[in-house]
Amino acid sequence: MSISVARAQTLPGGFVFLRDVDPTIIQDIRYAGSNNFVGRPLRGYGAGECVVKREVGLKLKAVQQELAGQKLSLKMFDCYRPARAVAEMVAWSRDGRETVAGKRYNPAFRKGDLFRLGYIAARSGHSSGAALDLTLVDLAADNAGRFDPARDYADCTAPVEMRAPEGSIDMGTGYDCADVKAHTAAPSVNPTQRRWRKRLVAAMARQGFVNYSKEWWHFSLPGAGGQAYDFPIPPRL
């Protein structure tokens, strides 16, 4: 994949802010802050905004409209990811330093093994604007829990009341959990968690999105991708 660099603080043709397509979709763009496996904002995330290809945004809007009648909402964790952020993830995985933040996300593996195991890639479909990380929110539930960087949370495979709060439906693991329990069809999750995963996959599939089997939260839209980009995510004006 070739990489196109856009230097201006605007979006290239074909890209949109998801808020401009559907402002009802909840956003918690995790790589724009410190609540992620690297433990800091990643390069290129100049704002916590979901940026996608226009076609992808319109299909997400259709998913959201279906969910609204069920008192549910999508919640976006990551959308377009600048190639420079992907490179930073690669460097992090190879630096040989295990951190508390990192082990919360990959409790069973050394981070140097995450490439071999398929949890980190040198080239990401996110950089094309056609891959997404997301979950479901029950709008009738109490979603007030907020991440506290000073707290010592349990790892991402722990029961929901012990791990870092995400303000979303319990899918059996936290977001970005590099563990076999995060595989979409993992037998180790309970029946309720399994039903929610299937419900998310089915809702996305009805609009053509395909799930990545090792990450229940990761979806892509075949045919909407293409080259990787490296423009920074600007604030939405």
Domain parsing of the chain, residue ranges: 3-229
Q: Band the pLDDT of 124: cuts 50, 70, 90.
A: confident
pLDDT top residue among 12 and 2: 12
Reported pTM: 0.92
Identify the pLDDT of residue 7: 38
Summarize pLDDT for 134-189 with one digit per residue, the tens.
999 999 999 998 999 889 999 999 999 999 999 999 999 999 999 999 999 999 99
Mean pLDDT of the 100-112 span: 86
- Per-residue pLDDT for 131 more than 90? yes
- Per-residue pLDDT for 1 more than 60? no
Summarize pLDDT for 212-229 with one digit per residue, the tens.
999 999 999 999 888 999
Return the DSSP state at 153. P
Burial of 207 (0-12, 13-18, 19+ CB in 10 A): middle
What is the DSSP track for 188-215?
A: TS-HHHHHHHHHHHHHHHTTT-EEETTE
Number of alpha carbons in the 13 Å side-chain half-sphere of residue 196: 20
Beta carbons within 10 angstroms of residue 122's beta carbon: 10
- For helices 54-68 and 191-205, the axis angle rounded to 10 degrees is 130
Fold of 3-229: Muramoyl-pentapeptide Carboxypeptidase; domain 2 (3.30.1380)
Summarize pLDDT for 63-78 with one digit per residue, the tens.
999 999 999 999 999 9
Summarize pLDDT for 45-98 with one digit per residue, the tens.
999 999 999 999 999 999 999 999 999 999 999 999 999 999 999 999 888 888
Mean pLDDT of the 96-116 span: 84
